[in-house]
Amino acid sequence: MANMNESKTLAGKRALVTGGSRGIGAAIVKRLAREGADVALTYSSSPAKAEEITREAKALGVRGLAIQADSADAGAVAAAVERTVAEFGGIDILVNNAGVALIGPLADFKLEDFDRTFAINVRAVFVATQTAARHMKEGGRIINIGSTNADRMPFPGGGVYAMSKSALQGLVQGLSRDLGPRGITINNVQPGPVNTELNPDAGEFAEMLKKVNALPRYGTVDEVAAMVAYLAGPEAGYVTGANLMIDGGFSA
């Protein structure tokens, strides 16, 4: 039993994953739980799915918590962080995973879609980070799920999405200077095409993206979760202010 505990690199840590009920977020919740962390997740509209993922985390012997919070609502985001702290007695790991991809031609792109993209993909990341940082101690970890599209957007209609993910690069590089003296790291994980319900690895669009990749396939949610687990763990203590691609060579 002692050996099992030794392999749990995040034993005793407390994490919050925004948008953790499906896709990449759900895989991150399960991976952090497997590594021994207590994990809270936020969800916007699928309580049954959120509870299912929370049950799976608890089955691994850790505490789990599902919190309804729309990331477009800054107050709800801050409240989710505070609830995590209250329930778990603190927070060591924040994964800003919740995001939205609103794609459309420039001529028709609605200003409300621009504002919603920025609110969820950028403002919520800042609010959660600011709130969590107030509670974090040395060794704290903040990890954003960005996108390879911050560096490369090879098709029309994705300009606003790409802008929102590029904004995270500047935010992380700047905030690494604020948080570094406290021993807290902050990084972006930037996936390329990943097989999820919302972005399946079959179909015309997928075949187009596979041709752009150096590796002619989609990534898996577990591959992204593995990179997040590394950044959350003790071996990544010297990695901060970084934008780390996991994109199959999409941006190469």
Amino acid 105: pLDDT: 96
**Catalytically annotated residue among 161, 218, 230, 238:** 161
Both tokens of 209, joined, read 């993206």
Told to judge if 161 belongs to the known catalytic residues of this protein, a careful annotator would answer yes
- Backbone angles phi and psi of 210, in degrees to 5: -60, -35
Are the CB atoms for 221 and 27 separated by under 8 Å? yes
Give the pLDDT score at 6.
55
Tens digit of pLDDT per residue, the chain (252 long)? 444 555 799 999 999 999 999 999 999 999 999 999 999 999 999 899 999 999 999 999 999 999 999 999 999 999 999 999 999 999 999 999 999 999 999 999 999 999 999 999 999 999 999 999 999 999 999 999 999 999 999 999 999 999 999 999 999 999 999 999 999 999 999 999 999 988 899 999 999 999 999 999 999 999 999 999 999 999 999 999 999 999 999 999
Domains and CATH numbers, the chain: 2-246 (3.40.50.720)
Q: What is the pLDDT of residue 110?
A: 98
Place of tokens 């590594």: 35
Pairing verdict, β 141-145 and 93-96: parallel
How many angstroms separate the Cα of 3 from the Cα of each of 8, 58, 60, 230, 233? 9, 20, 16, 20, 18
CA distances from 170 to 68, 164, 176, 184, 241 (A): 29, 11, 10, 17, 9
